[in-house]
Amino acid sequence: MNVAVNVRSIFDKANFIRDLGIAITGVGEGWCETELQVTERHRQQHGFVHAGVLATMADHTAGGAARSASGTKDVITVEFKINFFRPATGARLRCRAQVLRAGKSIIVAEAEVFSSEKAGEKLVAKLTETCAVIEQQ
């Protein structure tokens, strides 16, 4: 399936995503899902997962969802906004992104990040992202 190949390639080729340990776990037309096993290096000064880790995961997963809707074209992040709802303290993060609107030149996607807390999986952050559709680099 071409969509999966296209989306997986933006994970395979992104050093920073591999370096952090963010792995794609599912993809389809208009959506993408990822996972991250949290380690000590991902934390901030209070011991929670750093906002930058959550933002990176949400941004790249939203980019994956956008890429699933851009056909033969590529996508690049123009801007995003992310809200943080509660500290992420669990051992595993899961992110699910979906396209809200796929235009010819702009694709908007949103992504939710869940943390596997003791009380079960909790929504810890939600992002909205605008991507530009560009020619393949």
The binding site for its own copies (CB under 8 A) comprises 9-10, 13-17, 19-20, 40-46, 50-53, 55-57, 59-60, 76-86, 100-101, 103, 105-106, 108, 110, 123, 126, 128, 130, 132, 137
Query: For its own copies, which is the closer residue by CB, 56 or 115?
Result: 56
Counting Cβ atoms within 10 Å, is residue 120 exposed (0-12), middle (13-18) or buried (19+)? exposed
Of the candidates 135, 12, 126, 122, which has an alpha carbon nearest to the alpha carbon of residue 64? 12
Query: For its own copies, which is the closer residue by CB, 55 or 69?
Result: 55
How many CB atoms within 10 Å of residue 13? 9
Written as six digits, the tokens of 91 are 């051992």
Q: Minimal distance in Å, beta carbon 118 to its own copies?
A: 18
Query: For its own copies, which is the closer residue by CB, 2 or 40?
Result: 40
